[in-house]
Chain A
């Protein structure tokens, strides 16, 4: 009788730091949302005062979103539509390229016996240690020589050459599939490509889902590569457009528009998270969180 209350009361204590942590995590999100719905004056005043209680939108200004999207770039609406479509094209193609290439290479490492397989695999893993900054300049020189600067190609094409982390995930998953499945496919007349497409791809849907979620979020939010390679307004992705918007409308008087555009940029990732929470958490568990 005396043990039960103490067990229950000790578990309640855990809620306190969790609640504090959750509030701390959610505050920036709420702050952004609140400022995006405020009037110009109230948003600026709240930002200047630094008090979150000055940004409680009693009269939500949904028109801020339309106005923000209009103000992107030099041509009303077109700048935003260009940026949005570029982001969509890049993100979708990068997701597709990452899944296709990583699963293909993962299959080779998991199932095909070739000389030097293990050292090659370790070398591939070792590339995960390389910071992106190390390869930034040589890659820029390469793409410049190809004439790809100020196009979307440098953002898309590398995805079709595999991602070390995702190759590793696929390799681990495929290695667990029964060998007899592949032998049966061989006897049924499948070469390796057909085995990959007809047997491995359907069976690795869980890995594909995790890969898709994380690649989408990373690519959609990527700022560095688009900043380096995309110079023209019509080639910009949303991340670059948002940065340009910040430069143009970075003052206190325009913070409501900046926040509105930030919310718009964030929506696809938020929706994806809500739809694919399970895959997101599985991916975290497998060490998928980067930076």
Chain B
């Protein structure tokens, strides 16, 4: 296994289109790092630059301390799992697994027997030993995905790169495979760089998450650290499902206190803060408290819609003068009914404040 270092990495395409800008990241030996962000944020481009499938326009990429900007993809000792698996359709599973090793047989000093044993062992590890004679078109989506992972595993590379490998699987299989990937990582202690647009997947898989937007890294950290303390409004809104609720307003002084004044004039007492001016208040859906009766520091709300997921659910509320789209997550027993009039409150310690703008910094 190896460490990967990206220093000032950038990608500019012909015509001046900038896809990635100034990415700085160190992936430690054996670490599982996830690049996450919306479509077009540059995460796949970054992964492909690490793989050597895209030229690096700016910056330096090092694998295990060696600069590899000009090193060909096949010489970087990396293996990649593609989104659509990229299995060779005319080769059976055994041949797909052994293809890369066969190409490098002399360089690695392997005999045909060694390769056959490695293929059998990898297939057994992934539970696909009974599929070795089949062609890719004879496999299900989940089986193809395992073969794609197996093809990477059998090479025993320094770094694994995974480009949204679960995106073509159904929801249940995705959850199962996530767990298997985590176990595989622990078993192999492999350095893995994983790309996904699914923030739930990112949070469940990665030891560290890298949130990207418009070609730039927004935040790097452990998933729960990012969840609990997003550095800007974009990260706050992207990470977490359902997404954080945002309310525009002003931060003002009120005697000796600091208050957030919402659109309708409602005030929320804040912890001490020096900033004064326009701001955005963020509250996670699970931090909005539901009350059946009105009271101090409570706002009246009307329930527009309710979605139940068994043990929990989400309610969509309208709060006059503030927002007609406030999402609340609650246990099934506490969920209100559609059309009901309730009140809501928030604990100031569970709020987040940001500067105005899509990527407004955390205050």
| Interface positions of A (Cβ within 8 A of B) | 178, 180-181, 183-190, 194, 199, 202-203
Chain A residue numbers with a CB within 8 Å of B27 are none
12 contacts between A and B (CB under 8 A): A183-B51, A183-B80, A183-B86, A184-B86, A184-B87, A185-B88, A186-B52, A187-B52, A187-B53, A188-B74, A188-B103, A189-B74
- A187 near B84: Cβ-Cβ < 8 Å: no
CB proximity of A118 to chain B, nearest CB, Å: 13
Chain B residue numbers with a CB within 8 Å of A199 are 88
Contact with A along B42-82 (1 / 0, CB 8 A): 00000000011100000000000000000001100011101
- A-B pairs, top 9 by smallest CB distance, nearest first, are A180-B86, A189-B103, A188-B100, A184-B86, A202-B90, A189-B74, A180-B82, A186-B73, A189-B104
- B90 near A187: Cβ-Cβ < 8 Å: no
CB proximity of A200 to chain B, nearest CB, Å: 10
- A203 near B89: Cβ-Cβ < 8 Å: yes
Chain B residue numbers with a CB within 8 Å of A187 are 51-53, 73-74, 78-80, 100
| Interface positions of B (Cβ within 8 A of A) | 51-53, 73-74, 78-80, 82-90, 99-100, 103-104, 151
Residue of B nearest to A190 (CB): B103
Chain A residue numbers with a CB within 8 Å of B99 are 188
Chain A residue numbers with a CB within 8 Å of B103 are 188-190, 194
- A178 near B74: Cβ-Cβ < 8 Å: no
Residue of B nearest to A179 (CB): B86
CB proximity of B50 to chain A, nearest CB, Å: 12
Interface of A is mostly: helix
CB proximity of A211 to chain B, nearest CB, Å: 18
Interface of B is mostly: loop
- A184 near B88: Cβ-Cβ < 8 Å: yes
Residue of B nearest to A183 (CB): B53
- B82 near A183: Cβ-Cβ < 8 Å: yes
Residue of B nearest to A186 (CB): B73
Residue of B nearest to A182 (CB): B86
A180, A184, A187, A189 pick with most chain B CB within 10 angstroms: A187
CB proximity of B12 to chain A, nearest CB, Å: 16
6 extra interchain contacts, Cβ-Cβ under 8 A, other than A184-B87, A188-B103, A189-B103?
Answer: A181-B88, A183-B51, A183-B73, A187-B74, A187-B100, A188-B99
A149–B90 Cα distance when bound, in Å, is 43
CB proximity of B17 to chain A, nearest CB, Å: 15
B79, B99, B104 pick with most chain A CB within 10 angstroms: B99
- A180 near B83: Cβ-Cβ < 8 Å: yes
Chain A residue numbers with a CB within 8 Å of B53 are 183, 186-187
Given A183-B53, A183-B82, A184-B82: A189 and B100 within 8 A (CB)?
yes
Chain A residue numbers with a CB within 8 Å of B52 are 186-187
- B74 near A190: Cβ-Cβ < 8 Å: yes
A199–B151 Cα distance when bound, in Å, is 16
Residue of B nearest to A181 (CB): B86
Residue of A nearest to B157 (CB): A187
Given A189-B100, A194-B103: A180 and B84 within 8 A (CB)?
yes
A203–B88 Cα distance when bound, in Å, is 9
Residue of A nearest to B74 (CB): A189
Residue of B nearest to A205 (CB): B90
A194–B80 Cα distance when bound, in Å, is 19
Chain B residue numbers with a CB within 8 Å of A188 are 74, 99-100, 103
Chain A residue numbers with a CB within 8 Å of B80 are 183-184, 187
Chain B residue numbers with a CB within 8 Å of A184 are 80, 82, 86-88, 151
Residue of B nearest to A184 (CB): B86
Chain A residue numbers with a CB within 8 Å of B84 are 178, 180
- A186 near B90: Cβ-Cβ < 8 Å: no
A202–B53 Cα distance when bound, in Å, is 24
CB proximity of B211 to chain A, nearest CB, Å: 25
Residue of A nearest to B83 (CB): A180
CB proximity of B65 to chain A, nearest CB, Å: 22
Residue of B nearest to A113 (CB): B14
Chain A residue numbers with a CB within 8 Å of B79 are 187
A178–B86 Cα distance when bound, in Å, is 8
A180, A181, A188 pick with most chain B CB within 10 angstroms: A188
CB proximity of A191 to chain B, nearest CB, Å: 8
CB proximity of A177 to chain B, nearest CB, Å: 9
A189–B84 Cα distance when bound, in Å, is 20
A184–B152 Cα distance when bound, in Å, is 10
A231–B80 Cα distance when bound, in Å, is 59
Residue of A nearest to B155 (CB): A188
CB proximity of A163 to chain B, nearest CB, Å: 25
A188–B51 Cα distance when bound, in Å, is 12
- A186 near B88: Cβ-Cβ < 8 Å: no
Chain A residue numbers with a CB within 8 Å of B89 are 203
Residue of A nearest to B152 (CB): A187
Residue of A nearest to B14 (CB): A113
CB proximity of A141 to chain B, nearest CB, Å: 43
A180–B84 Cα distance when bound, in Å, is 8
A177–B221 Cα distance when bound, in Å, is 38
A183–B84 Cα distance when bound, in Å, is 12
A153–B138 Cα distance when bound, in Å, is 46
Residue of A nearest to B78 (CB): A187
Chain A residue numbers with a CB within 8 Å of B85 are 180
Residue of B nearest to A180 (CB): B86
Chain B residue numbers with a CB within 8 Å of A202 are 90
CB proximity of B322 to chain A, nearest CB, Å: 47
Chain B residue numbers with a CB within 8 Å of A194 are 103
CB proximity of A205 to chain B, nearest CB, Å: 8
Residue of B nearest to A189 (CB): B103
CB proximity of B31 to chain A, nearest CB, Å: 21
Residue of A nearest to B107 (CB): A189
A194–B102 Cα distance when bound, in Å, is 12
A187–B52 Cα distance when bound, in Å, is 9
CB proximity of A184 to chain B, nearest CB, Å: 4
- B51 near A203: Cβ-Cβ < 8 Å: no
Which residue of the partner chain, among A178, A190, A203, contacts B90 with CB atoms under 8 Å?
Answer: A203
